[in-house]
Structure 1
Amino acid sequence: KSLLFSQCKTALVNLDDEHAPYIIEHAHCHRLYTFGSDEKSDFHFSNIQYVANKDFVGITFGVCGKESFENFDVHAAIPGHFNAYNALSAVSVCALLGLNKEILTRGLEHIHVDGRMEIAYKSDHCSVIVDYAHNAISMESLLDTLRNYHPKRLVVVFGCGGNRAKERRYAMGEIAGRKADLSIVTADNSRYEKTEDIIADIIETLKPTGGKYLTIPDRREAIFYAVKNAQDGDMIAVIGKGHEDYQEINGVRTHFRDREVVDEAVKELL
């Protein structure tokens, strides 16, 4: 990646990244700027807050930087500390391009990325997030991120793909048991495997953690159950498929999109 910074006139580097010193040392661009949490950065954030209410779920933070962007607040409608870096990088690029601050802040406040920390529903009752997390690392990161919002219960709805390495199922089951208050284990893309067999593999490592769980093989029913039984203050994460608009079972793909099912459940049940 460092080679990219020798092929451009202007570079923007995350100063908090462990590889930043190397990249900066070997960059041969005309202008190099930095962003991050350190006040030494050309653009830096401060006072990150995790917000979840009926009007907004995401992060807020202050930005100090160059040009006319110095000292203003950002509301980014996408959860997680790591997304503060993503938002700050966007702010920094826009500052360097001289773009309008008001347009930028409005865009971040209403940002929407299909299946990536997507806020499918928010209210004073509960929040529902749809995300593509489909392996142990991304699942753990997501659940840790959502825990920062201090939900009454953190509920995760997930399964695992069929005809893939079983290690993924075992790892995700163990993480769900440790990190979620309730795991609803269901189908993903079972492909040519039996959904019940995949669920059994997941439960093999989830159960020993002592974490609360239940199994609902039909993914639509699982999402409806999570929404119907939500308690005040719950945060529900429907993960594994994200932006996908299909479900594959026995080699046949049928239309299925988590966000649409969440919308249906909310309309019918809440």
Structure 2
Amino acid sequence: MTNSTPIAQPLADLLTAVTVQAQHGPAAATVQGLTLDSRLAGPGMVFFALRGAQTDGHQFIDKAVAQGTAVVVCENLPPSLDPATAYVQVPDSAEAMAYMAAAFYGHPSQKLQLVGVTGTNGKTTCATLLHKLFRELGYRVGLLSTVQNQIDEEVIPATHTTPDAIRLNELLARMLRAGCTYVFMEVSSHAVVQHRTTGLRFVGGIFTNLTHDHLDYHGTFDAYLKAKKGFFDQLGKDAFALTNADDKRGLVMLQNTVARRETYSLRSLATFRAKLLENAVHGLHLEIDGREVQFRLIGVFNAYNLLAVYGAAVLLGEDPTEVLTILSGLTSAPGRFEPIVAERTRVTGIVDYAHTPDALENVLSTIAQIRQPSQQVITVVGCGGNRDAAKRPVMANLAAKGSDRVVLTSDNPRFEDPNAILTQMQAGVQPQELGKVLTIPDRREAIKTAVALAQPGDIVLVAGKGHETYQEVQGVRGPFDDKQVLQEMFDLLNK
């Protein structure tokens, strides 16, 4: 057990918010820990049998019981029940787990100022900027993001955009004990559908945008939209719901929420307004609510991110002028439009996590706005395996349209054949663009080739993996860092 595990608690105390269909076995069971992994089940533990995309936890109930687990929470009872084990039958094991985890860890979200950020793109940047901003404002702050989790200064590696409900409540409890008052977290569509955020109290929610992504999981765009909207439907009447009024689905997010409805926009009337004065290689110049501010971040998409962060901070009661002053000096999250410059040749490398068509289009559009006429844009891009295949030809098409040269390569092929993914990408390249496209499956070689193609002053975009420090092939994660590889190639240029 970690030091964040609370004292043993009666099972009955953890079931107060849970819909129980049937209960068998010892009613006075005492709980010392929670797990959804049967290998960790044992005396004093609750084992949750969850139905996942790959496996069904109900298959492992007997194993958990054999290891002495105190309680089994499941949707379907096994044929035979062990008299020493308590069985709790529920309509949805994931939902029950979320409520029980919140209760087990003392409902930490109710004692924190918890703000969630959802949308296809911009979640990590917004959550990271809010974390940095509120630390600069003098608070102890928690961060739950794709890149990393943070308890003030302590960094904890992240494995999912939003952790499972047990891990999430454990982290929130640790943040509370560490003196954090604010926590900013990314809320993925998977997390909403899988009840990872059920039972949490949010003081605010932010919507960034909605574009084509995760259709491999949700099936349809409408289901994806409903998953995002589900987060705002769960907000309480004392919370704020801040949405991007310029996104065509932005106002849809607010349709059923009882939270206070707020908007931000670069183009229309909104609670928080910004006007883009300049978008250059040295940063953004914006007018926000009548104040002109120079920011270090680049790109129109970052203008939206900055405006969302500003709006959330003001809604949380912070002084607008102080917020803008601090924001003007902040940098983005790792792997989000992160520049590297080769000193001798002045070739600019940009590492970005763009792994959706919209994100890639935004990055290429930003580069187009800040590039000089003499600069070539050379893009290295791939698509992940075992993920939405429909976006593969679209990504290649966008890369070819927005670049002078393109190198198609592997991303994280996972359990798919990298060459099959690349063939699907190649199908999206228009005949007139084929001459500018190379296909090199080895990602290191692809980056090396792109740098070799660059003339002094050119721009090399390496898209898709951003902050990731690994490449996943056939279930194995080997070390691979786009930024590090790009820097190595630049170091060779500088010799």
- Please give the TM-score of this superposition, normalised by the length of structure 1: 0.77
Q: How does 1:131-210 map to 2 (within 5 A)?
A: 131-151=352-372, 152-164=375-387, 166-206=389-429, 208-210=431-433
The match for 1:72 is 292
The match for 2:308 is 89
Q: Distance in 2 between matches of 1:193 and 1:19?
A: 33
The match for 2:285 is 60
Q: Is the 8 A contact 1:162 1:191 kept in 2?
A: yes
- 1:127 and 2:127 correspond: no
The match for 1:51 is 280
Deviations 1:1-55, CA, capped at 9 Å, x for gaps: 45366522555444444466677786655x7654323575443212332211xxx
2:485 to 226, 250, 261: 261
- Highest Rg: 1 or 2? 2
- Please give the TM-score of this superposition, normalised by the length of structure 2: 0.45
- 1:3 and 2:233 correspond: yes
- Are the structure 2 counterparts of residues 18 and 129 from structure 1 closer, same or farther at C-alpha, using a change threshold of 3 Å? same
How far has the Cα of 1:255 moved from its partner?
0.7
Q: How does 1:88-127 map to 2 (within 5 A)?
A: 88-96=307-315, 97-99=317-319, 101=321, 104-121=324-341, 125-127=346-348
How far has the Cα of 1:84 moved from its partner?
0.8
Q: Is the 8 A contact 2:412 2:472 kept in 1?
A: yes
Q: Distance in 1 between matches of 2:394 and 2:485?
A: 27
- Are the structure 2 counterparts of residues 167 and 34 from structure 1 closer, same or farther at C-alpha, using a change threshold of 3 Å? closer
1:223 to 447, 450, 453: 447
State the AA in 2 paired with 1:130.
V
Structure 2, unmatched stretches of 5+, are 1-228
Q: Which moved more, 1:203-212 or 1:115-124?
A: 115-124
Q: Distance in 2 between matches of 1:38 and 1:176?
A: 27
Q: Is the 8 A contact 1:156 1:239 kept in 2?
A: yes
The match for 1:240 is 464
- Are the structure 2 counterparts of residues 100 and 248 from structure 1 closer, same or farther at C-alpha, using a change threshold of 3 Å? same
Identity of matched residues, %? 33
- Are the structure 2 counterparts of residues 100 and 174 from structure 1 closer, same or farther at C-alpha, using a change threshold of 3 Å? closer
Q: Is the 8 A contact 2:264 2:270 kept in 1?
A: yes
Structure 1, unmatched stretches of 5+, are 65-69
State the AA in 1 paired with 2:307.
L
State the AA in 2 paired with 1:187.
S
Q: Distance in 2 between matches of 1:207 and 1:20?
A: 32
CA RMSD of aligned residues (A): 3.3
How far has the Cα of 1:252 moved from its partner?
2.7
- Are the structure 2 counterparts of residues 209 and 36 from structure 1 closer, same or farther at C-alpha, using a change threshold of 3 Å? same
Q: Is the 8 A contact 1:134 1:241 kept in 2?
A: yes
State the AA in 2 paired with 1:112.
S
